[in-house]
Amino acid sequence: MAFKRAIVTAVAPLRILIDGDTVPIPFTPKSLIDPATLAVGDVVHADQSGHRLVVLGRAGGLGLLSGRNLIINSNFMVNQEDKASGASIADNAYILDGWKNVSGGPRSFSWSDTGGVRAFTLVSEVVFGTQVHQPVEAQNLPAGTYTISCSNTAVRLSATTSAATLVSGTGGVRTFTTDGTLDVNIGVYETAGSTQTLTWVKLERGTVATPYQPATYADSLRECMRYYQRRGARGRAYALLSETGFQSSTTEAYIPTTFSTPMRATPTLSQGGVVKWYTPGGGGDATVTLGQSTSESGRLTPAFASTGAGNAPGYLRSDDGSGWLAFDARL
Q: Say what the pLDDT of residue 2 is.
A: 66
CA distance 161 to 169: 16
User: What is the reported pLDDT for 191?
Assistant: 74
pLDDT for residue 284: 87
DSSP string, 74-105: TTS---TT-PPTT-EE-TT-BSSTT-EE-SSS
Q: In which residue ranges of the chain is pLDDT below 50?
A: 62-66
Between the alpha carbon of residue 197 and those of residues 5, 70, 91, 119, 189, the distances in Å are 44, 21, 20, 6, 10
Q: Let me know if 304 is exposed, middle or buried by CB neighbors in 10 A (0-12, 13-18, 19+).
A: buried
Residue-level pLDDT at 309: 66
Q: Is the dihedral of CA 170, 172, 177, 178 positive or negative?
A: positive
Rounded Cα distance between 18 and 35, Å, is 16
Query: What's the pLDDT score for residue 65?
Result: 46
Q: What is the model's pTM?
A: 0.79
Whole-number pLDDT of residue 7: 85
How far CA 17 is from CA of 8, 27, 317, in Å, comes to: 6, 11, 63
Determine which helix (DSSP H) or strand (DSSP E) holds 255, and give its type and residue range: strand 253-258
Q: Could you tell me if 56 and 45 are in contact, meaning their C-beta atoms sit under 8 angstroms apart?
A: yes
- Residues 36 and 145: beta-carbon distance below 8 Å: yes
Exposure of 222 by Cβ count < 10 A (0-12 exposed, 13-18 middle, 19+ buried)?
middle
**For position 19, what pLDDT does the model report?**
83
Spatial neighbors of 216 by CB under 8 A, at least 6 apart, are: none
pLDDT score at 159: 97
Per-residue pLDDT tens for 97-151?
A: 999 999 999 998 999 999 999 999 998 765 567 899 999 999 999 999 999 999 9
Q: Where are the alpha helices (DSSP H) in the chain?
A: 217-225
pLDDT of residue 125: 67
* DSSP string for 221-249: HHHHHTTEEEEE-TT-TTEE-S--EEE-S
User: Is residue 165 within a helix (H) or strand (E), and if so which, with residue range?
Assistant: strand 165-169
